[in-house]
């Protein structure tokens, strides 16, 4: 029992510090990260949330954006040597909560040079109440109702893919709210898996969404679809088509 002598414990402490240094300085153990900023543009200008900034789309609707919430899942990162890494977690973006507008992925083996993701959840992942403990109040904000077979099976539960909300003008002194909410209905999941976006390897990128594209190609007329489209197949189909080219990824300077 002479282990805990003063000398010995100093030696122990020293060894501990030394090994900690060696461990954390080891170049083989170096890990990388990827920081993603989420930016939302209308014709190359960052959107200002509120009811005052008016936007024109191809269907000659004039609208404003009050808030935007969406999910990116099935995220895969690509590296210069053609290897890739699948990320388990999804990312939730909410324009009302600045903490969600930047997301960092840690412990990557190299710097990334490509990313692939899905807007919303695939049917396999879009499960009722599956993400109840997800941060940023995700569950309450994105829940898609489950009508338990009481509504002809239209709503099977799960989560919205995207919620884009604001006002649109019908004429200069008449305006209404629109709720562009996408999600699964009638057995179609309507999530969008994008092709890989490649870029010069980096630790920091921005994912840009061009909001106007939701309404431009093909035309989507807010006046005819208006406010409640969660169980409108025609509207969901059009939005799906429009959503195919809304994203753009750039490395940050």
Q: Which residues bind another protein (CB under 8 A)?
A: 1-2, 49-51, 66-67, 129, 132-133, 137, 139-141, 143, 145-148, 150-151, 154-155, 165-167, 174, 176-179, 227-231
Which alpha helices (H) appear in the chain, and where do they start and end? 6-25, 138-142, 222-225, 233-243
The answer to whether 174 and 223 are in contact (CB under 8 A) is no
For another protein, which is the closer residue by CB, 20 or 176? 176
Least distance from C-beta 91 to another protein, angstroms? 19
For another protein, which is the closer residue by CB, 27 or 152? 152
Least distance from C-beta 178 to another protein, angstroms? 7
- Listed in order, strand segments (DSSP E) in the chain are 32-42, 45-46, 55-56, 62-63, 67-78, 84-86, 91-94, 102-108, 112-119, 162-171, 174-182, 192-193, 197-202, 204-210, 247-251
The answer to whether 71 and 121 are in contact (CB under 8 A) is yes
Least distance from C-beta 65 to another protein, angstroms? 9
Please say whether the dihedral angle defined by the alpha carbons of residues 77, 117, 216 and 159, taken in this order, is positive or negative.
Answer: negative
For another protein, which is the closer residue by CB, 13 or 132? 132
Least distance from C-beta 124 to another protein, angstroms? 20
For residue 15, with 0-12 CB atoms within 10 Å meaning exposed, 13-18 middle and 19 or more buried, which class applies?
exposed
For another protein, which is the closer residue by CB, 19 or 129? 129
Least distance from C-beta 177 to another protein, angstroms? 4
For another protein, which is the closer residue by CB, 116 or 167? 167
């Amino acid at each position: 029992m002479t282990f805990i002598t003063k000398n010995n414990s100093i030696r122990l402490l020293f060894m501990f510090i030394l090994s900690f240094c060696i461990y954390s300085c080891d170049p083989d153990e170096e890990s990388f990260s990827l920081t993603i900023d989420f930016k939302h543009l209308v014709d190359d200008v960052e959107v200002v949330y509120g009811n005052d900034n008016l936007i024109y789309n191809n269907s000659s609707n004039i609208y404003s954006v009050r808030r935007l919430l969406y999910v990116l899942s099935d995220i895969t990162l690509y590296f210069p040597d053609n290897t890739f890494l699948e990320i388990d977690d999804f990312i939730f973006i909410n324009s009302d909560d600045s903490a969600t507008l930047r997301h960092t992925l840690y412990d990557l083996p190299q710097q990334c040079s490509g990313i692939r993701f899905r807007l919303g959840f695939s049917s396999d992942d879009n499960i009722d109440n599956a993400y109840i403990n997800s941060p940023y109040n995700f569950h309450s904000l994105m829940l898609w109702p489950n009508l338990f077979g009481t509504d002809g099976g239209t709503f099977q539960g799960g989560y919205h893919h995207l919620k884009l909300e604001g006002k649109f003008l019908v004429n200069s002194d008449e305006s209404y709210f629109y709720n562009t909410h996408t999600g699964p209905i009638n057995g179609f999941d309507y999530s969008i898996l994008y092709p890989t976006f490649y870029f010069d390897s980096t630790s920091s990128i921005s994912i840009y969404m061009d909001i106007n594209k939701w309404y431009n190609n093909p035309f989507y007329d807010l006046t005819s679809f208006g406010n409640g489209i969660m169980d409108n197949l025609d509207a969901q189909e059009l939005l799906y088509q429009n959503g195919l080219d809304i994203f753009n990824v750039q490395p940050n300077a």
